[in-house]
Amino acid sequence: MTGSRHTCTIDSPVGALEILATGETLTSVHFVGDVPATRGDLDDDAVLRTTVQQLTAYFAGELTEFDLPLDPQGTGFQKQVWSALTEIPYGETWSSGELARRIGIPTAFRAVGAANGQNPLPIIVPCHRVVGANGKLVGYGGGMERKQVLLELEAKVRIHRDFA
């Protein structure tokens, strides 16, 4: 991780999001509750501007897949899990067991769940799409209410697109 750090905070349907870019990559998104939005370094950083544009389009139901230069910081295993998260189709859910199978370590579902919980790029790397083996909602770093909002948004957009 090299280069200068730029941040901004935006409003969203799941509360304020603080976005951090370092150099030419997006490194983190944090839920920051009811903090008012600030432009921050938005005027000075193309990655931040593009991230805000794509998040805005996502929340408007106009974008189903992010295209951003990502550089999440974590272990090799965590990065492997986070990469697999990006393969979960928009509007669908997988269990930690399914993710473990997808990365070739089917017995590592607990470790996969733990890595999922450490995802520094929620929404963009869609950790909210992970559910329990029984299909029920399980923990989410941003809180269960946010997870529910994100899943409902995607389901609504997907149904609309399937019938359009």
For 41-44, the CB contacts below 8 A with 24+ separation are 41/6, 41/7, 41/8, 42/8, 44/6
- pLDDT, one tens digit per residue, over 23-71 is 899 999 999 977 766 767 667 789 999 999 999 999 999 999 999 999 9
Mean pLDDT in residue range 113-128: 95
Query: Is 127 a catalytic site residue?
Result: yes
Domain ranges of the chain: 5-59, 76-162
> What are 65-113's pLDDT values in tens digits?
999 999 999 999 999 999 999 999 999 999 999 999 999 999 998 999 9
Q: Which of 127, 131, 151, 153 is catalytic?
A: 127
> Is 0.85 topped by the overall pTM?
yes
Right CATH number for 76-162 from 1.10.10.10, 1.10.150.50, 3.40.50.720, 3.40.50.300? 1.10.10.10
